[in-house]
Amino acid sequence: MTKPIVLSAALALLLPLLAVSSSVVDFDYFYLVQQWPGAQCGTKRGCCFPDAAKPAADFGIHGLWPQYLSCRPAAGADAFAIVDGPPRKKCWPANCDDRDPLSLLQIRDLLPELERNWPTLSCKKGATYMDFWSHEWRKHGTCSGFDQHGYFEASLALKARHNLTAILAGAGIVPSDEATYHLSGVRDAIREATEVNATVECSKDASGAAQLYQVYLCVAADGSGRLIDCPPPVNRKCADKIKLPPF
Ligand SMILES: *[C@@H]1O[C@H](CO)[C@@H](O)[C@H](O)[C@H]1NC(C)=O
Ligand SMILES: *[C@@H]1O[C@H](CO)[C@@H](O)[C@H](O)[C@H]1NC(C)=O
């Protein structure tokens, strides 16, 4: 599909929704989390191509996640809160409306773009792309202020606007079995292209070397689509030198 996704239109949906919705969830910013597929394949978990052909060697969306700037003590109804070591803390809102399951009909026009840009590499039996999108919508999307279509459209638009694969390649950071790259070089390349500091997360490959796994771009909560500097910690489990394994 070549139809461009219009960012401003997608994000313009947010403000009216926030204004009229009675179940507004307050949060401080979004993470747009993208995964490097080569990093998942090189771990113990492995990777599979559940209900589609092998995806492109491109970053894929994990999700658009509303976040709190500081974690809050979790209580009572927040039993679903993220456990961050005792005492229980809630660092982001989650599962804000379980009566609003994702409907394929709502995102039908986005399916080609979603399949290309938001794949899952899950090896779980029976895993499908739709399961992944439903999970992200249920857990994070229902707290985002977007409706179903707006949530996926805004995520796709943000990804298209900040193409990490192209940004890294432009700095000579390309997938390779042999090369290692300075973490600072990865961070600099992203900052030069986006003008903000991202959060970078690594995982370990089969030999224990750090590899680029996920990049978190921080997005203002105001619906403008504007990127902001990510709050610390901006380095999750990365060493000074990291790999970008081929996919
Ligand atoms: C991102 O850039 C890469 C490398 O230039 C390209 O192959 C890919 O199609 C781009 N992705 C999107 C979603 O435009
Ligand atoms: C962004 O990262 C650079 C390099 O690590 C650092 O010097 C700068 O202070 C950071 N900016 C913000 C706003 O955190």
d(C-alpha 197, C-alpha 205), whole Å: 25
Give 187 Cα–ligand 2 centroid separation in angstroms.
10
Question: Model-level pTM?
Answer: 0.87
Q: Which of 203, 240, 236 is nearest to 44 (CA)?
A: 203
Check 113, 115, 135, 136 and give the catalytic one. Answer: 136
Question: Who's near 226: CB < 8 A, 6+ residues apart?
Answer: 219, 220
pLDDT at position 27, please? 96
How big is the CA angle at 95 (ends 229 and 121), to the nearest 5 degrees?
Answer: 70
In this prediction, residue 141 carries a pLDDT of 98
The DSSP secondary structure of 117-169, one letter per residue, reads HS-----STT--HHHHHHHHHHHTGGGSS--HHHHHHHHHHHHHHS-HHHHHH
pLDDT of residue 12: 47
pLDDT at 192: 98
Query: Measured from the CB, is residue 197 less than 6 Å from ligand 2?
Result: yes
**Confidence (pLDDT) at 149:** 98
CA distance 231 to 140: 19
Report the pLDDT value the prediction gives residue 72, as an integer from 0 to 100. 83
Tell me, what's the pLDDT at 30? 98
Nearest CA to ligand 2 atom 3: 197
Burial of 161 (0-12, 13-18, 19+ CB in 10 A): middle
Mean pLDDT by 10 residues, the chain (247 residues): 44 43 77 96 82 91 96 62 60 94 98 97 90 97 97 98 98 97 98 98 94 98 94 96 97
Burial 17-41 (b: 16+ CB within 10 A, else e): bbeeeeeebebebbbbbbbbbbbbb
pLDDT at residue number 87 = 57
Among residues 140, 153, 162, 201, the one annotated as catalytic is 140
113 among known catalytic residues: no
DSSP 237: S
Structure tokens at 27: 């949060």
